[in-house]
Amino acid sequence: MDIVVCMKQVPDLQQIRIKERKPVLEGVPLLWGDLDKNAIEEAAKIKEKLGDAKITVVAKGSEKLQQGILEPLAMGADEAVLLTDPAFQGSDSMGTARVLAKAIEKIGDYDLIILGEGSTDNYSGLVGSALAELLDLPEITYVRELDIEDGKVKAVRNVEESFEVVEADLPVLLTVAQEINEPRLPKFMAIRKAGAKPRHEWGPADIGLSADKVGKNALSVEVLSNLAPEQDRKNIILEGDLDEKIDTLVDALIKEGVLGR
């Protein structure tokens, strides 16, 4: 079985600062999103169960992927395709799906394509569906349980207040939910061996796309603003002894409607 896992590095959300209502990303380290780790973990589990399987990771991002890709390779992937060309930067969901589709078509052999149900940063959840459409594949979303047997996929979907069981013939594209597994921590020796696994870097020309069809040149959605909510603070400082401060604070909260009388 040939498995393709699409992954994305995202800024560490715990280290993002807000300045003038805008996120400051300079110097923020990149890491794999939690759902991306669920995707590669599920691929590794399938490989361990079936024995005869190959996992290829396809990742679009910056040159930092050269180091970051060692983690999914150590988790069980056999090789990686890195889409680090600057022309790819700034893609929206549709542009990302278009680039991934061309890369997967170049890879050629695939029975199963796995993504997280959404990225940790934007969480649009659109890339998987757009990719399935471009590759003309059936798609099963929000997968929390998975079984593969006799060329068929049987999946349990999480649809909020209920579960749904779906079957599909291979090849198929899946987007997985966090409940599907607990990603492993790669062992030291696995990380060392990951450095020797094949890594390929492809640009637009390598996957048959011209520069005007990728990145900021091919946006289908215009982002007008990306601002944090405006916060108005009264900056009231309470003075006096403790009992007076408490009484003043309670009165202020009642006036603001936070507390009832």
Angle at 34 between CA 164 and CA 161, to 5 degrees: 25
pLDDT for 53:
93
| Local mean pLDDT, 10-residue blocks, the chain (261 residues) | 93 79 78 93 95 94 88 96 90 90 95 91 84 96 94 91 93 96 93 94 93 81 76 75 86 81 68
In order, the DSSP letters of 73-107 are HHHT-SEEEEE--GGGTT--HHHHHHHHHHHHHHH
Q: Per residue, what are the HEC states of 107-131?
A: HCCCCEEEEECCCCCCCCCCHHHHH
pLDDT of residue 250: 87
Domain residue ranges in the chain: 2-218, 231-261
The two beta strands, 162-169 and 79-83, are: unpaired
Task: For 2-218, give the CATH class.
Answer: alpha beta
> pTM here?
0.83
pLDDT score for 260: 73
CA 129 to the chain's CA centroid = 14
